[in-house]
Chain A
Amino acid sequence: MPGYIVEQSATGEDSGPHLRYALEAIEIRGNTRTTERVIRRYIKLKPGDVLDVDNPEIELTRYRLLGTGFFQRAQLSLRRGSRRGNVILVIEVAERNTIVVSDLWMGLSADADTNGNARPLTAYAGADVAETNLAGTGITLGAAMGFAQQQLAVRTRYFDPSFLGSSWMTSGTLMYNDARDFYGNRDVLYDDPSNATERVQDYAIVRYKRAGGSLGVGHDLGMPIQLWFDYRLERIDASLPLAASHRRGLDREPIDFGFNKGLSVLSTLRSTLVYDTRDSPILPTRGWHATVAGDVSMSPLGSSYPYQKLTINASKWWQLPWRHVLRLHVFGGAIGGYAPLYERFYVGDFSDLLPDRMLDLNTDRRPAPNFLNTDIVEVRYGQYAGKVQGEYRIPLYRGQRSIYGVDLFGSAGIYGVATQRDLSDPPRGYHGFSKIPVDLTFNLGLRIDTNAGGFMFAFSNVLGFIPVRSEARP
């Protein structure tokens, strides 16, 4: 009989209650929607094992089950088996609502109308909702939609944490964007195919539609490291002006729209390495979160846009002796070749004073705030980008019920976005340091950790409309 041992010391006395049994079976109770097969994926113990009651795997099993998000409660216990020394591991779960709101977007932006005339304020909004345990299979099925003025984005996605019961994860997305973007620094000459007349406008507008999807496969390489490979295929239909030019520095230059005219195809292969040792995803106090992603888009893959893209994103958190939290964030990215516009680095994604893109929709026409009086004001999209940012967080509230924590945060950083030309041939009229397209960014707000996920209320978007910036031009 392999089991039922009360460990003895050399003197023959009990050295402690280190009980070992033979694990006869694993019994799962309380699951009404989640299939037993899905639950058993998270249990590494199996019938026939010698079960030491001190095996940390028992406690880890409980937290693995809670970590799926499928269960409100998971309790483990032992009961007698059919023979002396045998036990049955009983796992009792209570299921929870698994429909989650993964993202919400709301904000104000300054865009331009169809004719390229600047408009003061428009609103944008969007939501991403997911069922994380579809029909009890453990598969996530999600949908997202974003609206802005004359723009629409739709996404559906799935994620299977254990493809065909294996240790491989798979994911897939389907997407559609009816989007537009704003071009030109100033004095835009715009030859719209619909009007067939050349006009001076605030901005040149390009409408484009994207439809496609991606398939991905991922694997855990040890506890904190994950590796993903994704293949993406998209059809792009862009309506470009016949021609457009703008003032760059002191010179008039044609505008690069970043799209092939009419129909084109984007086909990329991406690999992503994720390293995550944070102690909490919403309000981390220590640890690392880093990702390295590489994209390759080549004609042999059927792509109309031959380019390569590499991004490195890393954050480190420290808890200070007085319980406040410091975060250092670093981002670096480079693109070689001809990438479609939405794959390039956008200033709004780096400046907290402009809205980020929402599901790849760009809702704002404004240039970077330009606190440092550099030629960043001439740059909207770039092939190179870098950012260093520090954040200081002050815990305001800690709770145990629906709101777990509220922190006040302030952040400041410096970033740069540039095309190859901005570096090799800066716009004329800028001198010395001003030829380096960098700017400052800052943010202030609240980060809130709740039982439904994490919220961030930041004031930067509102502050971005206060005209404190200096849009220096030569």
Chain B
Amino acid sequence: MRTRRGAVGMALAVALLSPLAWSQQPAPTAPAQLPARKASFSWNDQGTILRVAVKYRDVVDANVERKLLSGLPTVIVMRAYLYPDGANTAVAGTLKSCRIVFDVWEEVYRVQISQPGTGGEKTEAAPNLEGVLRRCAEAKDLQLADRTTLQPNTSYFLAAVVDVNPISKEMMDRIRRWVSRPPGASSSPGDSLFGSFVGLFVARIDKTDRTISFRTQSMVP
């Protein structure tokens, strides 16, 4: 029965998350060990969907703030996973993504928000950084799990990963091809040097510009 519930939970998770994001981004491996912060959980009006409200404004540090002002797109993606206490396998998951571009002529932030249960993507204009943080570094009424996914009288917690400018797999492949071709590199049939230095020099590629992870307090829905 537990397995079946898990399968239902995963189905919901897949429905809530974009398939691309779900397949490419791993869930936290030790979610209970993540630093804790407060979140509030609630049911929708029908009492069928568990929702969460949580803030993660600290993902916008000075560097990200500078990027937000660059006039080029910045994407903030929050992935959240619901775990039963003591378990390392998520029973449900959700996603909120936000894409922000500063319009250098109008001097406003144009914000595109995507989260389940809000009827698709929503575009707004934020006049200042505070407006961006409110829209993109906080989740309100974020749909998390269907009631049928959850066991009665079981305690759950949420673990979340927030990425700034995650790079798609395709873009990563293109970039790596660029940086991994050392000038004049040659290959020899043998590989048997004692302490050889492979003649390759590359810049490292981070998969995101910034990432934070956290967990919430436990709760019984």
Residues of A within 8 A of B (CB): 4, 6, 13-17, 19, 21, 53-54, 56, 58-60, 63-64, 66-67, 69, 71, 75-80, 84-85, 87, 100-108, 128, 132, 140, 157, 159, 161, 169, 171, 223-224, 226, 276-282, 289, 291, 311, 313, 331, 333, 345, 348-357, 385, 387, 400, 404, 411, 441, 443, 451-462
Contact = CB atoms under 8 A, between A and B. Distances in A.
B202 A455 contact: no
Contacts of A279: 172-173, 176, 180
Given A17-B112, A77-B72, A66 B179 contact: yes
A102 B197 contact: yes
> What is the interface of chain B mostly: helix, strand, loop, or mixed?
loop
B79 interface: no
A132 B191 CA distance: 25
B76 interface: no
A103 B196 contact: yes
B5 interface: no
B123 A79 contact: no
B105 A349 contact: no
Contacts of A60: 171, 174-175, 178
A360 B45 CA distance: 77
B123 A461 contact: no
Contacts of A223: 174, 177-178
Contacts of A4: 105
B129 to A, nearest CB: 16
B187 interface: yes
Interface residues of B, number: 52
Among A17, A75, A224, A461, chain B packs the most CB atoms within 10 A around the CB of: A17
Nearest to A461: B194
Given A128-B199, A349-B188, A453-B199, 4 more contacts: A17-B103, A67-B181, A78-B71, A278-B180
Interface of B: 69-73, 99-101, 103-105, 110-112, 121, 123, 171-206
B202 A80 contact: no
A456 B187 contact: no
B191 A411 contact: yes
Contacts of B186: 291
A49 to B, nearest CB: 15
Contacts of B105: 4, 80, 84-85
B189 A313 contact: yes
B200 A19 contact: no
A78 B70 contact: yes
Given A13-B123, A67-B178, A350 B72 contact: no
A349 B202 contact: no
B35 to A, nearest CB: 18
Among B71, B105, B193, B199, chain A packs the most CB atoms within 10 A around the CB of: B193
A458 B192 contact: yes
Nearest to A345: B189
